[in-house]
Structure 1
Amino acid sequence: MEEHKLFDAEYKFISLVWEHEPLNSTELSKLCLQELGWKKSTTYNMIRKLVERGLLQNEQATVTSLVKREQIQKYESEALLEKAFDNSLPTFIAAFLKDKKLSKAEAEEIKKMIEGAIK
């Protein structure tokens, strides 16, 4: 699962791909210049790097993702839970909700998720 670990710049880049795919690598380069301030060479290096890791596909200069945003979010949240909260979901939730208030709708949505996850 380590192959799903993304650094901040990689996540910003692949987010652009998710939002606009499929897209031509030249268009992606222009988008990265506009959104991230990257030179063409930086964009092409990032494409190559993420293709090598199996996260993107670049065929005939058309870039598409091979992983969904949800897969990356799942990996990142599991890694955070393990690293910072000793794999304790209640500890994470307590820390996350400290000094925050949920709307009734948010609380209801979370309640439904919890009920759906009960074995």
Structure 2
Amino acid sequence: MPEMKLGAVESRFAEIIWENEPLHSRELVKLCEGELKWNRSTTYTVLRKLCGRGIFKNEGGTVASVLSRQEFYAVQSRQFVDDAFDGSLPAFIAAFTRRKDLSVEEAAEIRRMIDDAVEEG
């Protein structure tokens, strides 16, 4: 699977697409000129790069996501757990909870999420 990490500028670019999709590539160029101060060439270069990574597509001049914002961040999170914790979600949760106090509400929500995932699996 291609790298799913985005730099700060790529993240802003991705947010522009997610917030406005589907949109014509000409409209994307205009948005990037206004928000990122990019020229047409830069917009198309970054779009081509992110299309190559399977995050977006540009078909017939219409730009849309292949991965929704939520799907993208889920894949990115999975990659982080795989890379940093050898794929062990319990090791990640242990490391996370050692550094942050959880409220009763947060703990209950995490339990609900785990229960839902077990039921779905």
| d(CA) in 2 for partners of 1:17, 1:4 | 19
For structure 1, the 5+ residue unaligned runs are: none
| Local SS of the residue matching 1:64 | strand
Other-structure match for 1:57: 57
1:3 equivalent in alignment to 2:2? yes
User: How has the CA–CA distance of structure 1 residues 101 and 38 changed in structure 2, closer, same or farther, with 3 Å as cutoff?
Assistant: farther
Task: Give the conservation status (yes or no) of the 8 Å contact 1:4–1:72.
Answer: no
Aligned residues: CA RMSD: 2.3
| d(CA) in 2 for partners of 1:7, 1:64 | 17
1:10-89 mapped onto 2 (5 Å cutoff): 10-89=10-89
| d(CA) in 2 for partners of 1:93, 1:35 | 37
After TM superposition, which residue ranges in structure 1, 4 or more long, deviate above 6 angstroms?
none
User: How has the CA–CA distance of structure 1 residues 52 and 114 changed in structure 2, closer, same or farther, with 3 Å as cutoff?
Assistant: closer
Taking structure 2 as the reference length, the TM-score comes to: 0.77
* Residue 116 of structure 1: how far off its partner (Å): 1.8
* Residue 53 of structure 1: how far off its partner (Å): 4.2
Other-structure match for 2:115: 115
Q: Which amino acid aligns with 2:86?
A: D
* Residue 99 of structure 1: how far off its partner (Å): 3.4
Q: Which amino acid aligns with 1:42?
A: T
Task: Give the conservation status (yes or no) of the 8 Å contact 2:55–2:72.
Answer: no
Deviations for 1:38-75, whole angstroms, at most 9, x for unmatched residues?
22211111222333444323234321112222332222
1:98-109 mapped onto 2 (5 Å cutoff): 98-109=98-109
Task: Give the conservation status (yes or no) of the 8 Å contact 1:4–1:75.
Answer: no
Identity, % of aligned pairs? 45
Taking structure 1 as the reference length, the TM-score comes to: 0.78
